[in-house]
Structure 1
Amino acid sequence: MSKDPLHHETSSQTVGPFVHIGLYPAVSGIVARSRTYGNQLATTHAYGQRIRVEGQIIDGNGETVRDALLEFWQADGHGRYAHPADPQAESADVGLSGFGRSVTNPDTGTWTLESIKPGTVTDLSQQPMAPHINLALFARGLNIHLHSRIYFDDEVEANALDPVLQHCVPTPRRQTLIARRQETTQDPCVYRFDMVLQGKNETVFFDL
């Protein structure tokens, strides 16, 4: 924030009911841009295990949130981000956009993400992090968007060594960041990841 006494930080406010129009106009039936970010991050040429992650968002009253928007960003199957901050960005998989958006279905409250399981990346101290997907959640009633992560329950060894899970998240709450693989013969592999905004089993959100 600027130290200039004439320029103060603008106060935050809830995104209101119009977040889809601005960030995902196609959902509202508005064709306003030639390029929009949807919930399919990977093309058929992307390297890695194809996955679908789906879930719901539950508020503090136990009700399903039906008008939320989520943003996702992730590494490719080799653990490379398509971002200038990643020194390997030039060799990132062109079959994966690495960024996408999804909205909750207004009838069921379910959101979905089609992608590939990310590879292992390292943190600033070069410690390996378990495969994960980063997310930001926008919804009516939230004064500022919430940051979280999606890990996978079939990456047991990697999760046990992940520096964020092990050093930043209390043991009883780690399970709130784990997507559960569903018993299905479908391709892609399906994971379930529900988020709880408040109360018992509240999902871990990071202060970034």
Structure 2
Amino acid sequence: MMTKLAYLKESPSQTAGPYVHIGCTPNVIGNDGIYPQDLGAAMITGPAKGEQITFAGRIFDGTGTVLRDAMVEIWQADAQGIYNSPAETRGAADPNFTGFGRQAVDMESGAFTFETLKPGRVPFPDGRLQAPHINIWIVARGINLGLNTRAYFSDEETANADDPVLARIEHKHRIQTLIAQKERNTYTLDIYLQGERETVFFDI
């Protein structure tokens, strides 16, 4: 006998967290034994070519409160500007660099930290070279659709000035929300979801 649909009640909707951690970063929350390490935990897997850097930051909501339950994914080219992707046609990527990182932010400080390579320049669809950058995707409780943004590098001023994506940002003062600041070998970019310092996000 079939149950009438009216008998079944709609369950409450759920946003990304905490389920995102259970499925994507189980080792972080102590759910060990599923994978030796979470996917995206290590980007450099051997003697990779190029400059090794740390990419770090925090994510803030509209009240200026740091998020402690977010997950961050990054995707980037290697030091030669080649992506580790089946769609890459310009050459072989560095075999010791995955180009992909995934991390749950620290549940106390809200910080994320990736050990990676400084990426090379990649072409825009029309052939112009983009400035070195890291693509960023963010999910957290209350964010139903992941947010896409980028991190550029403060010591690449000439390349940034010629970047075709940055050139399309109408309010030029907001470009600074995408510039990671360098201190030694660490580049830091804090991301703001709303407010006066709101980061530029991309609709892709």
> TM over 0.5, yes or no?
yes
Q: Normalising by structure 2, report the TM-score.
A: 0.89
User: What are the superposed Cα offsets for residues 137-156 of structure 1, whole Å, 9 maximum, x if unpaired?
Assistant: 01101111000001000000
What is the match of residue 29 of structure 1? Answer: 30
Q: Which amino acid is the alignment partner of residue 71 of structure 1?
A: E
Q: Is the 8 A contact 1:13 1:144 kept in 2?
A: no
- Any gaps of 5 or more consecutive residues in structure 2? 1-12
Following the alignment from structure 2 to structure 1, what is the Cα–Cα distance between the partners of residues 141 and 105? 12
Following the alignment from structure 1 to structure 2, what is the Cα–Cα distance between the partners of residues 47 and 180? 23
What is the match of residue 96 of structure 1? Answer: 97
Of 189, 192, 198 in structure 2, the residue corresponding to residue 196 of structure 1 is: 192
Matching of residue 15 in structure 1 with residue 10 in structure 2 = no
What is the match of residue 109 of structure 2? Answer: 108
What is the match of residue 83 of structure 1? Answer: 85
Deviation for aligned residue 1:35:
5.7
Q: What does residue range 1-208 of structure 1 map to in structure 2 within 5 Å? A: 14-30=15-31, 31-34=33-36, 36-89=38-91, 91-168=92-169, 170-182=171-183, 184=184, 189-208=185-204
Deviation for aligned residue 1:44:
4.2
Q: How many residues align?
A: 191
Q: Which has the larger radius of gyration?
A: 2
Q: Is the 8 A contact 1:52 1:114 kept in 2?
A: yes
Deviation for aligned residue 1:86:
1.3
Q: Is the 8 A contact 2:169 2:175 kept in 1?
A: no
Following the alignment from structure 1 to structure 2, what is the Cα–Cα distance between the partners of residues 113 and 27? 15
Q: Normalising by structure 1, report the TM-score.
A: 0.87
- Any gaps of 5 or more consecutive residues in structure 1? 1-11
Q: Is the 8 A contact 1:80 1:119 kept in 2?
A: yes
Percent identity over paired residues: 45
Deviation for aligned residue 1:36:
2.9
Q: Which amino acid is the alignment partner of residue 63 of structure 2?
A: N
Q: Is the 8 A contact 2:122 2:130 kept in 1?
A: yes
Q: Is the 8 A contact 1:73 1:135 kept in 2?
A: yes
Deviation for aligned residue 1:169:
5.0
**Aligned-CA RMSD value:** 1.5
Following the alignment from structure 1 to structure 2, what is the Cα–Cα distance between the partners of residues 207 and 105? 27
Q: Is the 8 A contact 1:39 1:112 kept in 2?
A: no
